[in-house]
Amino acid sequence: MTLRFSCLTLFPESFEPLRADGVFSRALARGLVSLDTVFLRDFSATARRDVDDHPVGGGDGMVLSPEVCERALASVRGADAWVVHVTPAGKQFTNAAARRLAQKSHVIFLCGRYAGFDARFVEANADEHLSVGDFVLSGGELPAQCMMDAAARFLPGVLGNADSASHDSFEDGLLEAPQYTKPMVWNGVSVPDVLTSGDHAKIASWRRRAQLSLTARMRPDILVRLWDALTRAEKAFAERVWKEDS
């Protein structure tokens, strides 16, 4: 079954890079995903193709018309559609959210611009609100592309190795362990000996500790959230990493 993505946008051309190259492009070519853009100006009722107006009560920016947006959404929304409002005010988009979107049959992204959508349109139509971080971009197109790319990775057949996504960062809660390739010595630094030992149990143990170390140093907030799920030895190891870094 094909996972369909639709994006309501004022800049449909901004999605072309996603179609042009990479994993998502190959998934499109193989029919595993589809992507259509809905140009908001096509649903304007004015000769000038207006899609926005000044905010009621004053303020900066222009607000996208709920009437225009409603017509645009209705043109692609079916009974099985899941509508995502892309907004800095949304819940943080995570690997778990990507996996959940991958289980849908049709995901519609509301990609705002300027001062955003009329709140009444969002409240009436959005199934959820998602954000890629605590920062503001010029529009919702880039975050929507990030979410589509992340979700597509969980679809069967999208990645060359079906297990690849399961080994990515965040899949077990931690950051992914460092990776190495040839040459075995580069700039005077050798690949860790354990990785060439052939002992799979030792390699797995090393990678787990490497994950803990990297997460403790780079994203301690993640480790704090997972603290109760760690073993006593893992907690002690993480505390040593924090002590050394401090």
Give residue-wise pLDDT tens across range 188-217: 999 999 999 999 999 999 999 999 999 999
Locate the DSSP E strands across 63-177.
63-64, 81-92, 106-111, 128-131
Write down the pLDDT at residue 171: 67
Q: Place 246 in a pLDDT band, splitting at 50, 70 and 90.
A: confident
What length does the chain have? 246
Structure tokens that stand for 171 in this block: 């899949």
What pLDDT, in 10s, does the model give residues 43-62? 999 999 999 999 999 988 99
Range of the domain at 85: 3-152
Write down the pLDDT at residue 133: 95
Residues 145 and 41 occupy one common structural domain? yes
Mean pLDDT for the stretch of residues 151-160: 92
Answer yes or no: are the C-beta atoms of 57 and 83 closer than 8 Å: no
Report residue 35: phi and psi, to 5°. Answer: -140, 120
Answer yes or no: are the C-beta atoms of 99 and 147 closer than 8 Å: no
Summarize the chain as % helix, strand, coil (round to 5).
Answer: 45, 20, 40
Residues 83 and 202 occupy one common structural domain? no
Q: What letter represents residue 77's amino acid?
A: R
Residues 182 and 74 occupy one common structural domain? no
Residues 21 and 141 occupy one common structural domain? yes
Q: Place 1 in a pLDDT band, splitting at 50, 70 and 90.
A: confident
Which of 124, 152, 180 terminates a domain? The answer is 152
Residues 139 and 188 occupy one common structural domain? no
* Better pLDDT: 167 or 36: 36
Write down the pLDDT at residue 47: 96
Classify residue 63: in a domain, yes or no: yes
The enclosing domain of 179 has a CATH number of 1.10.1270.20
Write down the pLDDT at residue 83: 98
Number of domains in the chain: 2
pLDDT over threshold 80, residue 163: no
Classify residue 164: in a domain, yes or no: no
Provide the CA 150 distance to its chain's centre, in angstroms.
Answer: 5
pLDDT over threshold 80, residue 122: yes
Residues 190 and 228 occupy one common structural domain? yes
Strand 52-53 to 63-64 pairing:
antiparallel
Write down the pLDDT at residue 82: 98
Residues 14 and 45 occupy one common structural domain? yes
The alpha carbon dihedral of 214, 220, 224, 225 has a sign of: negative
Classify residue 235: in a domain, yes or no: yes
Mean pLDDT for the stretch of residues 142-168: 83
pLDDT over threshold 80, residue 229: yes
Write down the pLDDT at residue 173: 85
Percentage of the chain exceeding pLDDT 70: 95
Answer yes or no: are the C-beta atoms of 109 and 69 closer than 8 Å: no
Q: Place 162 in a pLDDT band, splitting at 50, 70 and 90.
A: low
Residue 206's closest CA among 221, 196, 219, 220?
196
Classify residue 157: in a domain, yes or no: no
Residues 9 and 122 occupy one common structural domain? yes
**Residue 192, strand partner residues:** none
Classify residue 197: in a domain, yes or no: yes
Residues 177 and 123 occupy one common structural domain? no
pLDDT over threshold 70, residue 184: yes
Residues 79 and 120 occupy one common structural domain? yes
Structure tokens that stand for 166 in this block: 């399961």
Q: Average pLDDT of the chain? A: 94
Answer yes or no: are the C-beta atoms of 67 and 37 closer than 8 Å: no
- Terminal CA-CA length for the chain: 51
The enclosing domain of 97 has a CATH number of 3.40.1280.10
Strand 185-186 to 189-190 pairing:
antiparallel
Write down the pLDDT at residue 170: 63
Mean pLDDT for the stretch of residues 77-94: 97
Structure tokens that stand for 246 in this block: 């401090």
Write down the pLDDT at residue 168: 55
Classify residue 162: in a domain, yes or no: no
